[in-house]
Amino acid sequence: MSRRLALTLALSSIAGLPSTLDAQGREPQALDGLRSVTVLVERTAPEAVAAGVDTVSLRHQAEDAVQRLGITLVPPGSRDSASGVLYVNVFAATNPGRSWHAAYVELEVMQPVTIDRTPDARFYATTWQAPVRLRVVEQAALNGEVRSALTTMLDEFSRAWSAANPPR
């Protein structure tokens, strides 16, 4: 099966997902009390980096948005019970001629959860997520489209966090 056909099938299957999946984890109450986060940008595929996606600038973009809200940035591995992870994932695929790229952008908040019988174990669960953004663009526009999609998603996060954490 060609990559183009596989990508077309994947994109059409995403479009057919039920709307309940889109709404899952988008309630602002899940962000109540979130005072600190670690920003984690997933390692981006070499194809996306070759097309100009800069993961360091994506991390800085997310960190700036978090700091504007007054949320403290903490290093990875922090054991703060009010801390979470702001997770950014960018995936890009291209056709054999590299005439276009499909970019998938994901933003979610993961917070620590415990298991009663194993309280020392450290697990994270997604408690909030922005709707996934999917773009098909020319290679030269990929980085700009990814950053634009992330800006929109960070704005959604900001609104949700502000709704759950009004000024006191």
Q: What is the pLDDT of residue 12?
A: 43
Containing structural domain, residue 88? 3-164
Average pLDDT for residues 138-159, to the nearest whole number?
93
What pLDDT is recorded for position 13? 41
Pairing of strands 83-94, 36-41: parallel
The string of pLDDT tens digits covering residues 64-96 is 999 999 999 998 777 666 689 999 999 888 888
pLDDT digit string, tens, across residues 2-57: 444 444 434 444 444 333 333 345 567 889 989 999 999 998 878 788 878 888 99
The closest alpha carbon to 101, from 45, 150, 154, belongs to 45
* Domain CATH for 136: 3.30.160
Which string of b and e fits 100-124 if b means at least 16 CB within 10 Å? bbbbbbbbbbbbbeeeeeeeeeeee
Q: How far is CA 97 from CA 94, 107, 157, in A?
A: 8, 29, 36
Predicted local distance difference test score (pLDDT) of residue 114: 79
pLDDT for 99 = 81
pTM here?
0.79
Number of domains in the chain: 1
Question: How far, in Å, CA of 98 to CA of 116, rounded?
Answer: 50
